[in-house]
Amino acid sequence: MQSLWNDRDAAACHNDPLALRAYTSRLLGREPSLVLHGGGNTSVKAPITNLFGEPEQVLLVKGSGWDLATITEAGFAPVRLDVLQRMAELPKLTDTDMVKAQRAATLDPGAPTPSVEAILHAIIPFAWVDHTHADAVVTVTNTPDGGRRVREIYGDRVLIVPYVMPGFILARAVYEMTRQTDWRALDGLILLNHGVFTFGDDARASYELMIKLVGQAEDYLAANGKKKSSPVKAAGAPPDALAQLARLRKAVSTARGSSMVARLDQGGDALEFASLPGVADLASRGPLTPDHVIRTKPKGMVVGQDPVASVQEYGVRYEQYFARHRTSGLSALDSAPRWAVLPGVGTITFGGSAADADIAADIVRHTRRAIQAAETLGGWMPLGEAELFEVEYWELEQAKLKKPGSPRPFQGKVAVVTGAASGIGKAVAEALHGAGAAVLGLDINPSIKTQFNQSGLAGGVCDVTDQAAVTASVEKAVGLFGGLDLLVSNAGLFTPSSALADLDEATWQKSLALNLSSHRYLLQAATPYLKLGVDPAVLIIGSKNVPAPGPGAGAYSVAKAGLTQLARVAALELAGDGIRVNVMHPHAVFDTGAWTPEVLAERARSYGVSVEEYKAKNLLKAEVTSADVAALALAMLGAPFAKTTGAQVPIDGGNDRVI
């Protein structure tokens, strides 16, 4: 563990305690093996001057919901220190009352809610306090004789705190344990199965002590822990691996009661873990630290021959676990696993979005490593299930998962959109992603890869007239997100205008290949996965030219008419599998790549009108935008069209020939 302290960056804080506090907190946050996704917290005690000009001591403590990796000064709440210290003297306090009292003692009503560890920070008699869930320290303590090993590493320079619930109970336990303690003789607190606290008179001292203590645990693991193993060879994915993945994701989504994105990890570490002889037992013993339980559930799942049966069995066991520990008034959470082992293949995580599944994947990556290290230290022994249950059903942990607002309409859905680098395709792909879906956007334009390059919005280069490339792209989407629910077949091109008498063969063939056959390739490749999707739906982008063809647009209109017929037949054939297929006929969406100035001029000429007249040539005199089309697309893929298939919906500002 290396110190990341930098004199120049520290000097830029100008000795302002809050600026320095944010700075060294981010140093901790930069190291995922110290804190992962919201784990850990920090504080500084400092004087402030109140409204009446009087000095007051406050604890500036990390706010709930802030991540140490990205925290700024705004992420700390100023809480009256004397109130927090007096709270530690109370013999009893419920967590709800504790949060309420901490909130009331916060001097800035706009500040975030103080960390649930604020009282513990307050009673440590040093200005600076740092707390992490360092992998190495927790790994050592998650073994049968963890306490003894901690003594072996640190001697008497740390206080060992046996595991108790975080929050008031932990603060109270430390308060009682340290009444007679000479804090100056300590380097830190080691909280078994939980983490480590360090403290100091200045920002650097407390931070460097954290690095030192964690480094010692890492050295101990290196000397006593996991030996280098030879790389494991992949067993080779079974021929129907992707279909099995989609089946598994659907079963997990059903158990959850909403769509889940699945992320498969087949990297070297994941494969090695998934190939361990005792992996089924190891994956179900428990998490690295109890706060992970809200992201990973108490146990991982091991996938057997039949993924659906595995999920059902996991659910039954979860319900039994709930029944064993429930207290009155508690209702069970969903029984879907959040991570699983595919023996001999890798590990897989599930989340309501790609970002959530990725957070679970980070946690699982660290957990796998810790399990393997602890196994060579006498055995992986995390907290027992009674303690895990307490944390999983702790109101304060559950509150972390409850984001404001209602769930987004396409949360956890997986979509493929073609022609996604510009115009209608781009607008639809971005709208789906904004509404919660994980999206693979395809385009022949290589810029798609840089345009769509964030969590849950990926880009892939694909020539949709190449059947093999289309199949590979659909498989890519399933591999990336675990399945496929929504297909938007949009890629197309307005081929140059020509009267039929003058139409050349190349233009005709090009239009048929791009505007008709490519959609069949996509539909055919996607159908097996759509059948395993969650409320699957297909949207085909047709054209106003289907109901109202224009002169000179023969190649385009004929292909789009054929495409509409393809969609109608697909609607008939796929209804039995619950797959809806609908067609949208847009027109005059001038903010798309298809409407180059040349095309516009050409079309206007075909109708014998000016470009301006052509643009306003609809009954509502409305200009239809890509965003309007995207809004209709989301409606047609979503709940408003849940009971509609085989429909053709125009979006053209009103056209008397269509009406």
Task: Give CA separation, 273 vs 88, 341, 374, in Å.
Answer: 43, 9, 13
Q: Are the beta carbons of 350 and 270 closer than 8 angstroms? A: no
Cα separation, 295 vs 366, in Å, equals: 13
Cα separation, 173 vs 119, in Å, equals: 11
Task: Give CA separation, 587 vs 29, 431, 443, in Å.
Answer: 51, 19, 21
Give the closest residue to 28 by CA, choosing from 40, 16, 45, 17.
Answer: 40
Is the Cβ of residue 128 or residue 556 nearer to Zn ion in the bound state? 128
**Of these residues, 23, 154, 556, 614, which one is catalytic?**
556
Cα separation, 112 vs 74, in Å, equals: 8
**Nearest-approach distance from CB 195 to Zn ion, in angstroms:** 5
Pairing of strands 158-161, 188-191: parallel
Integer-rounded Cα radius of gyration of the chain: 30
Helices 203-224 and 17-29 pack at an angle, to 10 degrees, of 10
State yes or no: is 207 an active-site residue: no
Q: Are the beta carbons of 254 and 333 closer than 8 angstroms? A: no
Is the Cβ of residue 195 or residue 346 nearer to Zn ion in the bound state? 195
Fill in the amino acid letter for 197.
Answer: F
**Nearest-approach distance from CB 158 to Zn ion, in angstroms:** 16
Binding site for Zn ion (CB under 5 A): 195
Is the Cβ of residue 195 or residue 436 nearer to Zn ion in the bound state? 195
Is the Cβ of residue 195 or residue 287 nearer to Zn ion in the bound state? 195
Pairing of strands 537-541, 486-489: parallel
Quick one: how far is CA 639 from the chain centroid? 23
Is the Cβ of residue 132 or residue 489 nearer to Zn ion in the bound state? 132
Is the Cβ of residue 38 or residue 195 nearer to Zn ion in the bound state? 195
Residue facing Zn ion at closest CB distance: 195
| Burial bucket for residue 47 (CB in 10 Å: 0-12, 13-18, 19+) | exposed
**Nearest-approach distance from CB 387 to Zn ion, in angstroms:** 14
**Nearest-approach distance from CB 353 to Zn ion, in angstroms:** 25
Is the Cβ of residue 195 or residue 298 nearer to Zn ion in the bound state? 195
Task: Give CA separation, 543 vs 424, 562, 616, in Å.
Answer: 12, 11, 17
Give the closest residue to 264 by CA, choosing from 418, 475, 469, 36.
Answer: 475
Give the closest residue to 273 by CA, choosing from 229, 332, 224.
Answer: 229
CA quadruple 354, 518, 577, 310: dihedral, nearest 10? -40
Is the Cβ of residue 78 or residue 195 nearer to Zn ion in the bound state? 195
Q: Are the beta carbons of 341 and 300 closer than 8 angstroms? A: yes
**Nearest-approach distance from CB 90 to Zn ion, in angstroms:** 21
**Nearest-approach distance from CB 194 to Zn ion, in angstroms:** 6
Active site residues: 556
